[in-house]
Amino acid sequence: MSRRRQKKSGCGSAIINLLVALLVLAALLLTCGFLTFLVFPDKAPDINVLDSWLTPNPADVNLEEIEPDEGMPTLAAVAVIPSPTVTFTPSIEPTWTPRPSGPTATPIPAYTLPPSKTPTPLPTFPSKTPTPTYTPTPTNTPTITPTGPTPTPSPTRSQFPFTKSNNSPFYLQNWANNAGCGWMGVAGIVLDLSGNPVPAGQYRVHVWGSGIDERPSVGGAPDYGPSGWEQFLLNKTEVREYNVQLETVNGTAVSQVYRVQTKASCSQNLLQLDFVQNH
């Protein structure tokens, strides 16, 4: 029983599917025909054909040949349905209007160079005639031929028997004591005509100025030599000026007065002044 029902239901489904397909095909054909009549109205069927389809005439009798009788009823006039005419509205194409051209460019006039300035010629002045220069006539100059060796000028003799040495004064760093930079002084030696130290205690050195007035004895500072002398000036380095002169133990000056100046430097806090006998 189940197989028979399945067969019947399978046949029924096939018939239904076929009918649906036919209906869909008929709908497509009607749609295509309607669209064709809309697009091409001249292809539409004549209204008379439609009338023949719409008016029932089973015997196919020509109604125009039948003359109306009095006893027969008059057929009502069949309403004539006007054929639909599709009116196409022409599309209005926009008319191209040329755009107004822009303002005409005014040509720029070519730049004209200004006329070059003609240089004004400078006035010509007459050249100045040079004044003749007097040239003296050379005269014969007698030539003197020296005879013998050229005399050597002798140094000027000092009025004092002692003068300072050629390299005096000179500056040294304090080396004679342990005070270092906390000491400043003046010192030196005294030599005779032969360059030997003079006897100790025969001379003394007068030192004065800037608050100092002392006479240290020659030979009293043997650290500098047998005729060495020394005078302490200040416990710091400072620029000051002093006077120095050699004299005998009786106070007679045997050299001129020498003006010396100290320096504010720890490497130059010892000023040395040596005396040398010259006659």
pLDDT of 33: 79
170-172: strand order across its sheet:
170-172, 270-272, 184-188, 229-234
Q: Which residues contact 235 (CB under 8 A, 6 or more apart)?
A: 179, 182, 183, 184
For residue 271, the cross-strand partners are: 171, 186
Task: Domain 162-277: state its class.
Answer: mainly beta
188/273 Cα distance (integer angstroms): 5
Tell me the C-alpha distance between 277 and 246, whole Å. 11
Would you write out the chain's pLDDT as a tens digit for each of its 279 residues? 555 555 556 777 888 888 999 999 999 888 887 887 777 766 655 545 445 554 555 455 554 555 554 445 554 444 445 555 555 555 555 566 666 565 566 666 565 666 666 666 665 655 655 665 656 665 665 556 555 556 555 556 689 999 999 999 999 999 989 999 999 999 999 999 999 999 999 999 999 999 999 999 999 999 999 999 999 999 999 999 999 999 999 999 999 999 999 999 999 999 999 999 999
Written as six digits, the tokens of 226 are: 């047998």
For the sheet with 162-164, list strands across it: 162-164, 275-277, 190-191
Q: Give the Å distances, CA to CA, from 179 to 24, 174, 176, 269.
A: 138, 8, 9, 11
Residue 209's pLDDT is 97
Give the pLDDT score at 32: 85
What residues contact 268, with CB distance under 8 A and at least 6 apart?
171, 172, 173, 237
Q: How far apart are CA 51 and CA 80, in angstroms?
A: 8
Question: Closest Cα to residue 249, out of 198, 188, 211?
Answer: 198
Cβ atoms within 10 Å of 210's Cβ, excluding its own: 14
Alpha-helical runs (H) found in 40-166:
47-54
